[in-house]
Structure 1
Amino acid sequence: MKIQLTISDIIKQICPTFTAGLICAKVNNSPYDEFLWEEIKKEIIHTQQKYPLESISKRDTILATRKAYKALGKDPNRYRPSAEALCRRLTKGLGLYKISTLVDLINLVSIRTGYSIGGFDADKINGNLILGVGQEGELFHAIGRGILNIEGLPVYRDMTGPIGTPTSDEERTKLTFDTTRVLIIINGYSGKDGIKEAAEFTVNLLNKYARAYDVETEYVQV
């Protein structure tokens, strides 16, 4: 895997069990896949039945991410982890946006597992990555939501600047229909248990719906 990830000392301190699952693959993105959406619809029904609104924040993977936010001084009710926001939306009956096959399959993994997952165009990443913490005044154009205050959020940075947090990814490295190489990062603030299974599920979806090849998977632990 050409893109390497380093975990900063502050993340090691606040979450000594943190584990990231990294998947890099060459892919073919598309606007929509009917069979993928059949899987997504089933998962939406399952989520609505299994997780009442008040229970979503207590899912192990989501709760661990929220605890990391609190440890860094960030309010997880105001800046919800993306997996929690997705599940809350579904439980409220608001449905799920159709974005693209790559984004949609990442959302499926996130809904099923509760992990907040970053999806990036690997060719737009400048150098290697470090997982640190957002600073005051650091500029971050969140996808679909404008400027996001990332101070106190866990944040991935390349040599140019921040590219992703568990709440939202950055416009600069977002997935598009032109993306041919994807980097997916599964954020395991709850530890290593479940990360491998989530990564394997993700790779399976990439193979089925994005015609993935040259797939590489790596796990980075504190």
Structure 2
Amino acid sequence: MEITISPAITEKIDGFKIGFIQYKDIEVGASPQMLKGRLQLFQESIFFDLQQKGVTEIDGVAQWTKIFKTAGKDPNRYRHSAEALFRRIQKQNYLQTINSAIDLNNFFSLQYEVPIGIYNLDNLQGENIELRLGEPGETYIGLNGRENSLENLIVASDNSGPFGSPFVDSSRAPVGEETKNAVQIIFLKPSLSVEESEKLTKSLMDMFVSIHGGEGTFTVVEN
């Protein structure tokens, strides 16, 4: 699977880049106690940090809020997924364990302060994913159970249309215990260098493979 970024995004957003990881022959199941414990402790630490500062003061949250605004999506109505996680924790509405893949995704989203999507590769169509801006009238049913407007939202699209975004993913390709092959998109901070981006992307991939087995390959894409 290849991934490309539409010029409409890179022309608007300086430094836009993503980490792209492909996994094959993985085993998704209940999270190991190590991951559950780290996720719980990390959320408690974040909760106490947020007593001293606001969510919008977090560097990655602020950078992605700016991206939404620059792309033409109201960040007050459409909060990116990393901001939504931090706001949950601020209310002490801690994330509950779902499965090993989703829990790890959430952990790294909090650690890197950016949206991260993970998708069941076998539910995607074609050999290319394009990151582009949603068009007028485009929608999909999200994992939030609602029909979501995609206009001016950065979306990941395959041959069948959009399936993911840094706002909320669609219900078309969620990762569950039946998933054997997956792709992961890290919506990196534009301020990061390519070298830093590669280091973070590889770190996530290595942790994922250590828990789920299988094989992983990664790349960082700028345009």
TM-score (norm 2): 0.92
Partner of 2:13: 15
- Per the TM alignment, residue 31 of structure 1 is displaced from its structure 2 partner at its CA by 3.2
SS at structure 1 position matched to 2:169: coil
Is 2:119 the counterpart of 1:120?
A: yes
Q: Give 1:172's aligned residue.
A: 172
Structure 1: runs of 5+ lacking an equivalent? none
Change (3 A) 1:53 1:86: farther
Q: Which residue of 1 aligns with 2:103?
A: 104
Stretches of structure 2 lacking an aligned partner (at least 5 in a row): none
CA distance in 2, matches of 1:30, 1:95: 20
Which residue of structure 2 aligns with residue 61 of structure 1? 60
1:6 paired residue number: 4
Q: Check the 8 A contact 1:154/1:166 in 2, yes or no.
A: yes
Instruction: Give the residue type in structure 1 aligned to 2:160.
Output: T
What is the SS of the residue equivalent to 2:215? strand
Q: TM-score, normalised by structure 1?
A: 0.92
Q: 1:208-219, aligned counterparts within 5 Å?
A: 208-211=210-213, 213-219=214-220
Residue type at the aligned position of 2:154: P
Rounded to whole Å, the distance in 2 between the matches of 1:120 and 1:148 is 18
Match of 2:69 in 1: 70
Q: Matched residues in 1 for 2:199 and 2:37: separation?
A: 21
Deviation at 1:197, TM superposition (A): 3.4
Matched, 1:220 2:221: yes
Give the CA deviation at 1:175. 0.9
Contact 1:18–1:192 (CA under 8 A) maintained in structure 2? no
Whether the 8 Å contact between 1:29 and 1:210 is mirrored in structure 2 is yes
2:40 pairs with 1:41: yes
Aligned residue for 1:74, secondary structure, equals coil
Other structure's SS at 2:149 match: coil
Q: Number of paired residues?
A: 219
Moved more, 26-35 or 194-203: 194-203
Across the aligned residues of Structure 1 and Structure 2, the Cα RMSD in angstroms comes to 1.6
**What letter matches 1:95 in structure 2?**
Y
- Say whether residues 1:157 and 2:157 are aligned partners: yes
Moved over 3 A (4+): 51-54, 191-194
Q: Aligned with 2:102: secondary structure?
A: helix
